[in-house]
Structure 1
Amino acid sequence: MRRVFRTAARAGLLAFGLAMAPMPAAADEVVVFAAASLTTALDRIAAEWAAATTHTAVISYAGSSALARQIQQGAPADIFISASIDWMDAVADSGDLRAGTRRDLLGNTLVLIAHGRDAAPVTVDASLDLAGTLGDGRLAMALVDAVPAGIYGKAALTSLGLWDGVAARVAQTDNVRAALALVARNEAPLGIVYATDAAAEDDVSIVGTFPAESHAPIVYPAAITAESRSPAAQEFLDYLGSEAARAIWEAEGFTVIE
């Protein structure tokens, strides 16, 4: 009986010890809706954050306009990262952002790209014969009235007096990475994308950079959505501005906004 009692006592103490021992923190998931142009850098940042915290960022990439509308329609996103101030404003105006969480993260540059790694450079200004350079081909751009890269691109071409000459020959895509893919596959000889997109693709060359004054500043704001229930949303948003993330953003060609 004494041996049985001692065994039972030890079992009880073990159970008590396990009950009192600190439990590992539960891993949380953050759903991020992000502009397609962020794909390469944000995938790297999310992987490093997951390794450091055991939390997970599940990222959906698309054009900022499509993502904004999905959030306004109740899609379960925790964080929205737009390539456009205007689309972030639209989500704020509809009451779908958590107050006090919005911040400007990044800047970018608009460029003209061509298929191949050795395409000849051009000067992007009012004297550029863009229509002639296209030949019989088309100019790949994201949706020019909805997707930020397309909006910036149309504004830049209009500012330089080039839009009317190529408007009928623009191949519009749902997002900027799709425009990049058309040029990479040589389905369009030229395209307008962000510099960071061009850097992520081996089969294109940057042949020219649009003057900064030819379009509105390219700014990527980020914010937590009003409907977010993820305990880790604020942590991930803060991580996007950390030194670890900054190194990745800059390595991929983004400008980090202080």
Structure 2
Amino acid sequence: MYRFLTLLLLTLSCNAFANSSQTVYVYAASSMTQVVQNLAQIAAKHNIEVKGVFGSSSSLARQIANGAPADIFISANTQWMNYLEQQQNKGVQPAHVIAGNELVVISGDDLPRVPTLSDSMVWQALIGNGRIAIGETNTVPVGIYAKQALVSLGVWSSLSKKTAPMKNTRAVLAMVERKQVPVGIVYATDAKQSKMVKVLAHIPAKHYAPIQYPMLLLTDKSNANQVYKMMQAKPMQDVLGELGFSPAPKIVAATH
């Protein structure tokens, strides 16, 4: 009887280890948080556990390049995906774009909609003695896009010293929600998911590089491959649409 119980416990522990080793780790840009949460729910119906790790694309790409146990990476721009693919030939196959997004100006206060974005005086009136929350402009995609937009609109020179750079788009959103800053620039999907902010203006896409979300399969684990395919299937594409993401453009994501 003792030997039988010992064998049973060994079998159960081996099964538990096998199952844990098949957990799929999805490292994703913070703006993809709800997307990956929905993906995890769909995967769970197929007895696959998905765990999301969220942050700025730059931070996640560096972590993966340094050995973080990611199975799938979803970036908020092609720059950091290109960086990762060039690190020791990361990726089972080339990355491709799964969705797009756009920039909006938001506020947690009852401010009027912005009539024009190319007049620095309008921005000054919005922020008063405060600052504009944006992503860090050298490494964080939402900040890179925001700076491109402000430069293109001709207002960056007058506003650059009045920004509050944050580590990712969710941090920008939180600053605005807590009214620590009067306005911020985030992705349209962030604004849609928050009940505490209002959109003051949509920044025309012509003022910044196309916002693209490339996805990369990093391991050959069978469960990871299944989840990778789930992300591209209609149920998840419907989820992306419901959350406000634009459809994936018919182009190759990561070019070198």
TM-score by length of 1: 0.85
Task: Pick one of 230, 244, 252 that aligns with 1:239.
Answer: 230
Other-structure match for 2:156: 163
Shift of 1:104: 0.7
Other-structure match for 1:249: 240
Q: Output one character per residue of 1:155-210: Cα deviation in whole Å (capped at 9) or x when no partner.
A: 00001111111111111111100000000000011000000001111110111011
Task: Pick one of 27, 32, 51 that aligns with 1:58.
Answer: 51
Other-structure match for 1:127: 119
Q: How does 1:26-65 map to 2 (within 5 A)?
A: 27=19, 28-50=22-44, 52-65=45-58
Shift of 1:70: 0.6
Shift of 1:132: 2.5
Task: Pick one of 183, 186, 193 that aligns with 1:193.
Answer: 186
Shift of 1:142: 1.1
Q: How many residues align?
A: 230
SS in 2 for 1:177: helix
Q: How does 1:52-201 map to 2 (within 5 A)?
A: 52-116=45-109, 118-127=110-119, 129-201=122-194
Moved more, 120-129 or 40-49: 120-129
Structure 1 residue runs of 5 or longer lacking an equivalent are: 1-22
Other-structure match for 2:11: none
Rounded to whole Å, the distance in 2 between the matches of 1:139 and 1:124 is 16
- What amino acid does structure 1 have at the position aligned with 2:43? W
Shift of 1:101: 4.4
Judge conservation of contact 1:111–1:208 (CA < 8 Å) in 2.
yes
Judge conservation of contact 1:110–1:153 (CA < 8 Å) in 2.
yes
Shift of 1:43: 0.9
Judge conservation of contact 1:71–1:96 (CA < 8 Å) in 2.
no
Rounded to whole Å, the distance in 2 between the matches of 1:69 and 1:244 is 31
Judge conservation of contact 1:124–1:209 (CA < 8 Å) in 2.
no
Shift of 1:233: 1.1
Shift of 1:125: 3.1
Q: Output one character per residue of 1:63-110: Cα deviation in whole Å (capped at 9) or x when no partner.
A: 000001111111111111000001000001113422424211000010
Task: From the CA coordinates, give the structure whose radius of gyration is larger.
Answer: 1
Structure 2 vs 1, CA of residues 76 and 46 (structure 1 numbering), >3 Å: closer, same or farther? same
SS in 2 for 1:94: coil
SS in 1 for 2:222: coil
Task: Pick one of 198, 221, 224 that aligns with 2:217.
Answer: 224
Q: Output one character per residue of 1:102-134: Cα deviation in whole Å (capped at 9) or x when no partner.
A: 211000010100114x43211343235212210
Rounded to whole Å, the distance in 2 between the matches of 1:155 and 1:162 is 11
Instruction: Say what the alpha-carbon RMSD is for the aligned residues.
Output: 1.7
TM-score by length of 2: 0.85
Judge conservation of contact 2:29–2:55 (CA < 8 Å) in 1.
yes
Structure 2 residue runs of 5 or longer lacking an equivalent are: 1-14, 251-256
